[in-house]
Structure 1
């Protein structure tokens, strides 16, 4: 069945053409063409091993393509959250402040901005608590505060709620939507958000566009309504039905 595979984008913030990534004999991505406009909320979906995490790493510069071209707007800062964020053995406030300090902010100012970021995600009360003693949901919220404090134009998230309990998932999901809509720098332009997820309800709630990957290739790239209500390739249809994952 023929399915539209590319959402037209006039002025892309992110432009990938023919991108491939190979790890030894493993072809993680192949012939990826992807254009993302400013302010879009793009969900990457597909079965385990389909290439979602590798694609996010390419977008963040953590994985170098073995072929193809990656064009990113150099004026836009990127921040990335992982499924299990790394927390240093120090306070939540210092975990956020260190990211700012490494970017060149004076330590005193970095700590003040870190406290404001923790307040933004509802964690001001535990600012001085060792971050490694926090719950998984709290650690992910600290990671969101750390990302938001860096004032990114592009926010990348790799299965950010996969290991959380239902209550923490709702909290983090709400913060994702809120932070994407309310940039830390106060600009009118919404943050561009690209996230991977197996939670199709979350995709419906947060995404404006869905990219389905299969064996390292994009086989469907549709507006969220079209993805969930229109024709799909067979593997994508089975994925939506919950028969593969």
Structure 2
């Protein structure tokens, strides 16, 4: 993964660490400091004082009750929403964002949908055709490039959307419940594919899900957000030995622990 100066959004940049006895900050793909978000000047905080550092190449899953601000946080990292206060640093030239819906253009083939992302980057016609084919091969859709969108299953559409996100050549990939609308078997197959692609590309992945087992299955680290105002209240390092399958006992045991904390957070919010 190449090293580049971070993109800084939101308010004034964080001060540099210096002086004797102060260790320099480690390299980060994403670094948030004191990020707060409100949508109206006198409105309530949606996010409150988010501090988060994600290492290059790390896979982080974000959990929380509906409406806790997970998608808002992802939109801020993607540069689609400004933070009200705090600093946001993203390595390289920003992040690619993949949504729950594939949002493919129905009048284009699978290949042309991927080529569109390359065209927007200014890649020439011949090169983008070759690169789009390579990306479709990477998501195991090399033989489906000429298929129309309506000919693709839900899982295939999400693979095309993933290839299109990878075509943006961003070091950071943000995924907002990308498998939430799929059946369990298709979702499990895409877990395997996403893990393979993550290991092959070295991307940093930030993955939102409501499925606790999915978070434990995929993430190296799982973060739990409180309900509004959204804060990161707990985190777990996932240390599962052997093949990490969604039905594995170790995955299930950690998922139960995390679910208990999620339920407690939901009950706490309901009592406010």
Tell me the distance in 1 between the aligned counterparts of 2:212 and 2:257: 17
Does residue 218 of structure 1 match 2:236? no
CA contact (8 A) 2:32 2:89 kept: yes
Q: Which moved more, 1:54-63 or 1:141-150?
A: 141-150
Which position in structure 1 is the counterpart of 2:262? 236
Which segments of 5 or more consecutive residues in structure 2 lack a partner in the other structure?
1-24, 241-252
Which position in structure 1 is the counterpart of 2:73? 55
Tell me the distance in 2 between the aligned counterparts of 1:57 and 1:134: 28
C-alpha RMSD of matched pairs (Å)? 2.7
Which position in structure 2 is the counterpart of 1:4? none
User: What do the CA deviations read for 1:209-235 (whole angstroms, capped 9, x no partner)?
Assistant: 111111211111331359938987975
Please tell me whether Structure 1 or Structure 2 has the larger radius of gyration of its CA atoms. 2
TM-score, with structure 2 as normaliser: 0.75
Match of 1:203 among 215, 239, 248: 215
Larger RCO of the pair (alpha carbons < 8 Å, separation 6+): 1
CA contact (8 A) 1:76 1:154 kept: no
Q: Secondary structure at the match of 1:23?
A: coil
User: What do the CA deviations read for 1:180-207 (whole angstroms, capped 9, x no partner)?
Assistant: 1111xxxxxx211110112222211211
TM-score, with structure 1 as normaliser: 0.83
Once the two structures are superposed, the pairs formed by residues 58-77 of structure 1 within 5 Å of their partners are 58-73=76-91, 75=92
Paired residues in the alignment total 226
> 1:70: how far off?
0.9
User: What do the CA deviations read for 1:18-61 (whole angstroms, capped 9, x no partner)?
Assistant: 11111233532111111111111110001111111111111111
Tell me the distance in 2 between the aligned counterparts of 1:200 and 1:229: 6
